[in-house]
Amino acid sequence: MPRPEKQRMVHSPPLFNSFKPTGVARNKLVPIMLSLDEYEAVRLADYHGLDHAEAAEMMEISRSTFTRLIDKARLKVSKFLVDGAELSIEGGNIHFRGNIIRCMDCEHMFNTSFERAFTVCPSCGSTRLVDIAGGYGHGRCCSEKGTGHGHGRGHGGRNH
């Protein structure tokens, strides 16, 4: 029987979750799903240039697990670029360390913890705020992990 998959820590939710080639209808594209932990692997290794050991430590997984994760992610991203598919980011056995709130009126975005609730935009005073982590089905579960640095049961990216 395989070991249960260890939860992976993701710094914060991605701002964008769907990408496609310009000028091609979505219904004509093959969908490729990039999990949130695969996204985080690409962000840490390729965007921030961390080595596998550093990135694995940040995600609270082993270096060998990180290497398998980044290899899967890179293959999916290369298929998206070469084949002209639709790339969607969703799911995965993760918890976010922090959150991003976006104001629908002034488009101001700000990083926040899960312990701090915002009801008013600090920039314009609007109450029309979007919880980005909530859009990925996360929030309460990440908050219950304290500051997002502990270990606990995963939710597989489903709404909770």
Local structure of 66: helix, strand or coil: helix
Helical spans, DSSP H, in the chain? 36-42, 52-59, 63-83, 132-135, 140-143
Query: What fold is seen in the domain 97-149?
Result: Rubrerythrin, domain 2 (2.20.28)
Pairing of strands 129-131, 18-19: unpaired
Q: How much is the pTM?
A: 0.81
Rounded average pLDDT over 88-107: 92
Asked if residue 151 lies in contact with residue 120, where contact means CB atoms within 8 angstroms, the answer is: no
Least confident stretch, 58-62, 113-117, 123-127, 156-160: 156-160
| Rounded CA separation 91/47 (Å) | 21
Whether 160 shows a pLDDT value over 60: the answer reads no
Question: Among residues of the chain, what percentage have pLDDT more than 70?
Answer: 84
Whether 134 shows a pLDDT value over 90: the answer reads no
Which residue spans of the chain are classified as CATH 2.20.28? Answer: 97-149
**pLDDT the model gives residue 66:** 97
Question: Among residues of the chain, what percentage have pLDDT more than 90?
Answer: 67
What does the pLDDT look like over 70-87, one tens digit per residue?
999 999 999 999 999 999
**pLDDT the model gives residue 1:** 65
Beta bridge partners of 94: 8
**pLDDT the model gives residue 145:** 60
Asked if residue 95 lies in contact with residue 89, where contact means CB atoms within 8 angstroms, the answer is: no
Q: Name the one residue in this structure whose structure tokens are 């990216």.
A: 157
Rounded average pLDDT over 64-69: 96
Pairing of strands 31-34, 8-10: unpaired
Whether 142 shows a pLDDT value over 80: the answer reads no
Nearest-5° Cα angle at 136, 17 to 63: 80
